[in-house]
Structures are given as structure tokens and as C-alpha cells.
Amino acid sequence: MADTVETLGVAVVGFGWMGRVHTQAYARLPHHYPRLPLRPELVAVAEEVPGRAERAAGQYGFGMATRDWREVAADPRVRAVSVTAPNFLHREIGVAMAEAGKHLWIEKPVGLTADDARAVADAVTKAGVQATVGFNYRGAPAVETARDLVASGELGTVTHARVRLFSDYAAHPEAALTWRYERERGGSGVLGDLASHGVDLARFLLGEIAAVTADTAVFVPERARPTGATEGHARASGGARGPVENEDYVSCLLRFASGARGVLEACRVSVGEQNAYGFEVHGTRGAVFWDFRRMNELGVSRGTDYQDQPVSTVYVGPGDGEFGAFQPGAANAMGYDDLKVIEAHRFLRSIAEGTPYGATLTDAVRAATVLDAMARSARTGSWVSPEPSSTP
């Protein structure tokens, strides 16, 4: 354990599934990172759905429960805040927390547009606080190992890549018409929800994206409105039906600044697909493959055969990324929640050392400019370069 351990008051704003994941990650930090000089204390939880914050406080031990996140911003005991509220609230809450001097762990995509992400980034810079963004897949030890393979040149010069994010969470025709399906509150649908992760993975592995051309579609055009509070991907029937205003599907061609080419495809209504997230990267001498459902494995092809060159399965182990903080040997499985513990560790390490670790708001802004470019391309049918200005 660190020689001295300081208590850090933390709060969680928004207590759906992701709020629980953040809370559990804070609780697990001393187990996996005993030398971290900060020990999180669960000071407050804010959630507007009646009774939900109180239940969270009773289950997880938060000192205060409230329906108003502004009470969290005003609480001097709170030094760091997880923002896990719906997308349309990210900008207002994120800016307010930074202005109140709170360090920020905020979920992607950080608002509805690049302008929203940039507003939070500017507030964080002005306040001099630390901020981490919830691009959790880049923290998987296998993904970090894949990046090292690319950067080392073992695969040769990268020629092309494919990133795929298919899910069935919205496939059921009775999935409730929640904020996720509204343009004003959910933004660009599957672009912000899943393709944002794909863009971050693409940038993390291969560098900046110079231009995109995209196509989008809505496959389930109407859904029933829920008659009460919802959590996660709830179903509804019998309520008034309304239109789905944002995208179920996106396919996109990518041109990287390096000259490499790519394909990104994401869908939230893919029947038979459960969290089918992954990538393949091809170079002039080899390739690397990753599937989130086999999170701790890589398919790796490298050598000098070029044609008929085999692919080997590589299991990451204690020497890869943060694997050693969770398991003692290769092929012992890590899971999704472990990736959020890694994020929590990097967030608190950023606070302790005053240096950013993990995905930052710069990453969020860059990803959001690419998503905005995809939306513009889908409307115009043309190649679009991500621009500093972000009117989608």
C-alpha cells in the first residue's frame, strides 16, 4: 500500500446501469490497486427518478442521496464526480462540475455534438481539473497489446482495418421509446452510442481519421412510449407510439492521416448479435484480430510468409497492460467491469499526479468531430473531413 493514503470524496450523477458500474469500480480500487495514494469515499449520489438515489445510497453506502445534481456541485466534500446521466445532460452537468472545481469522469460521447464535448473540455482546462472519458475498450490489455504490435512495426505498414460494433439491445420491436431514440436528447443514435467507441478504437490503434463517407438507416421506425421511469433497455407496450428520430445503423469508410483505409460499421438492432464488438488490422507483413467477447485473446499473424501465413491465438497475461492487477496468469479471464476499474484507477491517478492518464476530453472531442462528419456525410453522400467546427 502507498505510504500515505488520502481520502477523495466522490459522487455519481445518474444512477442507471452505468452509474452502478462506476460505483462498483470505485469500491474495487483498493483491491486491485492497493498502492494508489487516493482512497475514494462515496459522498453523494444524484438521480432524478424518485427513490432511485435513496436505494443506491442504501445499497452502496453513499453518504447523501438527492434528485438534484446541483447539490453535488455545491457540496465541498465532493472532489470528483462521475457523470453517467443521459447524453443530453453531459454538457450542462460536465461544465457545471468543472466550474465547481470537481475532477470529472464522464461517460462517452460527452454530449450530443463535438460542440458539447468541446464546451466540457474548455471548462475543464479553465478550471485546471482532471478529466477522464469512458472509452473503456481501449483499456483492455489485449487492445493495448494490439496497439503495441502496430506501433512496433511488427505488422509492417498498416494498409487497412475494420471496426465492427453490432448489438441487439434495440432489436425487439417493443423496446421502449426512451431518450435514446430522440434526436434532441439521444443525439445521433447508434453513432454516439456504439460508433463513438469504434472511432476511439480506430484512433487509438491507427491515429487520426482524415476523411469519412457514411451511410445511415433507421430499421425500426416507431416504438411505444414508456408509461413510467425506465432503466437500461426496457420494453414497453400499450403506450402511445412515436417515431424513432435517430440512427439504428451506420456504415462508414475511413481514410486515416497515415494513408491507411478503414471500415467502421455499427448497429443496435442486429438480431443474433450480443456485444459483437471488435477489430481487425492488416499490415504489409501481418495482421491482428480482437473480439470483445473473447476479450483476453488476440489473433496474430506475423512473419515473412505473406501468403498462407497462419494466425496464432495469443492470450494476454500479467505483462500486458493492466492484466496483472486482476489475474495472476494468462488465460484467466477479465470482464467488462474490470475495464471500468482500470478507468477509475487512471482517473484517480490523474488526480493524484496532476497528469492525464487514459482517454481524455481531447479524445472525446476528436471522436465527436468524426461522428459529426459521419452525420454530414450521410446527408450529403460525399466524403467529409472532420472539422474543428462541429455543426452536425
Domain boundaries, the chain: 6-136, 137-332+366-380
- Give the per-residue pLDDT at 94: 98
Q: What is the pLDDT along the chain (392 residues), one digit of tens a residue?
A: 556 899 999 999 999 999 999 999 999 999 999 999 999 999 999 999 999 999 999 999 999 999 999 999 999 999 999 999 999 999 999 999 999 999 999 999 999 999 999 999 999 999 999 999 999 999 999 999 999 999 999 999 999 999 999 999 999 988 899 888 999 999 999 999 999 999 999 999 999 999 999 999 999 999 988 866 665 577 776 678 999 999 999 999 999 999 999 999 999 999 999 999 999 999 999 999 999 999 999 999 999 999 999 999 999 999 999 999 999 999 999 999 999 999 999 999 999 999 999 999 999 999 999 999 999 999 999 999 997 544 44
By C-alpha distance, which of 189, 281, 178, 267 is closest to 231? Answer: 178
Distance of CA 268 to the CA centre of its chain: 15
Residue-level pLDDT at 13? 98
User: Cell numbers at residue 236, please?
Assistant: 414497453
- Contact between 269 and 249 under an 8 Å Cβ cutoff? The reply is yes
Distance CA 256, CA 163 (A): 13
Q: What pTM was estimated for this model as a whole?
A: 0.94
Q: What is the pLDDT of residue 4?
A: 85
Pick from 51, 95, 97: which is nearest to 72 by CA?
A: 97
| Termini Cα distance of the chain | 48
Q: What's the CATH architecture for 6-136?
A: 3-Layer(aba) Sandwich (3.40)
**Per-residue pLDDT, 230:** 60
Bridge partners of 304?
Answer: none
Which of 337-356 are b and which e, b meaning 16 or more Cβ less than 10 Å from the residue's Cβ? ebbbbbbbbbbbbbbbeeeb
Q: Determine the CATH number of domain 137-332+366-380.
A: 3.30.360.10
Number of neighbouring beta carbons within 10 Å of residue 307: 4
φ and ψ at residue 371, rounded to 5 degrees: -65, -40
Contact partners, residue 288, CB within 8 Å, separation at least 6: 146, 149, 150, 155, 280, 281, 298, 299, 300, 301
Half-sphere exposure of 278 (CA within 13 A, CB side): 18
